Structure 1
Amino acid sequence: MTETELRQQIVEVAQAIDRAGFCPSKSGNVSARFEGGLLITPSGLPYAKTKPQDLIHLTLDGSVLSGAGKPSSEWPFHTEIYKARPDAQAIVHTHSPRATALASARRGIPAFHYMIALCGGADVRCAEYATFGTPELAANAVKGLEGRKAVLLANHGVIALGGSLAGAHTIVAEVENLAGQYLDLLASGLEPVILDAAEMERVSARFAGYGKVG
């Protein structure tokens, strides 16, 4: 993929999550690995007005290589995730409503549905709280993502990583869907039936043979 194509895809994903209502008040961000570093959406620019040339090129230590604006304030967790996870080629962060509501209760999502396996494990954890844009939040996110492709951030939102932008986008959208279903179950007073570890391993194996996502 050329740089032009990658920049265009990042903008398209950012605009798609914005249209879905996942990024109120210009929240959220999107990045992809590029030339030993990453391309990331800029800070404070509405996604509807963001153009490919507005993206910021960073090194993995956060140094700006190109771009006229400031990188997203959440660049620290993007860089730390890329350093910790060689499998991550793209990261999508949102404040999608249902996932953020669950994160604000500091509650993860258990394996009440087999689609949890899409997120890389038997649950979606909720990482410990830290102030946005800080090294502490970055460390908490990396820890919460161990063995996973998605994590809730306490009182904040959700992060998804993928082997492609399309994969990360798919996962962050599924986390929002699962969070909504789980909240609906809790609100109804019904007790979710949790699938056991053996079943989640079987599901993961079937996903591996069914088609690659993320």
Structure 2
Amino acid sequence: MSDMDDIRAQRAGELVQAARELFAAGVMSHSGHANLSARLDGERLLLTPGFVRHLEPGQLATVGFDGRVLEGELRSVSAEITAMHSAVYQARPHTGAIIHTHSPAATAFAVAHRPLPCRTEPMLRFGQAEDVPVVPWGPRGSDASVRGITDVLHRRPTTSAVLLANHGLLVFGPDPAATAHLVVAIEESAEAEIAATAIGGAVDFPPGAQEAVRAAIAQAAS
């Protein structure tokens, strides 16, 4: 087995585990639709099929950033989203994994075209210390949709997630596990934000909250 085969097998296992953790956390839509990917190198990614409820490593395909399927198979419904994943990897060279879900509470914000505020500590801790912005709607996998994503990434260079208007959630991080943790944190935050409206509305963090969380994490790790 070559080094690349080893890397592919490792990334496939990480994506399968991430998918299982998302279902265990209860943050997936009723349909179970999602797509997950992991960067293999500067030109290729590993991509799941569109439904990942019972994902196995053999279902993943190796795809070039140009959209060509290099190993495995992709149905047309999955091939449509290759450009979306490739665009994020090219715009964010340090991104190692991407997860797109229709998580219900986060999708509510996407449908409402409302950015999700960062008002819960897990969002701070797992990499989204700012509002999750909304990308204007475009047909799934279209040039308009991909341009909308890349435009927001250029305007918001530190965001680790975007809401796809009238569609769902797109999250990116250093590896599948960290990205899955952020998906869970965002969905929990969206649920809390919606629930808080019934008791007067959510309140922002006090000034310096991000720095305080970072200091607490650093102290715990020392």
TM-score normalised by the chain length of structure 2: 0.82
Give 2:9's aligned residue.
4
Give 1:81's aligned residue.
88
Identity of aligned residues (%): 27
Q: Which moved more, 1:154-163 or 1:107-116?
A: 107-116
Give 2:203's aligned residue.
193
Q: Which moved more, 1:124-133 or 1:174-183?
A: 124-133
Cα 1:205–1:17 shift into 2, 3 Å: closer
SS in 2 for 1:122: coil
Q: Structure 1: any 5+ residue segments left out of the alignment? A: none
Cα 1:48–1:120 shift into 2, 3 Å: closer
Aligned alpha-carbon RMSD (Å): 2.4
Give 1:165's aligned residue.
176
Cα 1:210–1:52 shift into 2, 3 Å: farther
Shift of 1:60: 1.2
Aligned residues of 1:38 and 1:57 also touching (Cα < 8 A): yes
Write the deviation string for residues 129-172 of structure 1: whole angstroms up to 9, x where unpaired. 11212122222223334311111111111111111110100001
Q: Which moved more, 1:32-41 or 1:64-73?
A: 64-73
Q: Which moved more, 1:74-83 or 1:128-137?
A: 128-137
SS in 1 for 2:88: helix
Give 2:35's aligned residue.
29
Shift of 1:48: 3.8
Aligned residues of 2:135 and 2:162 also touching (Cα < 8 A): yes
TM-score normalised by the chain length of structure 1: 0.85
Shift of 1:39: 0.2
The total of aligned residue pairs comes to 208
Counterpart-to-counterpart distance in 1, 2:60 and 2:131: 33
Counterpart-to-counterpart distance in 2, 1:78 and 1:193: 34
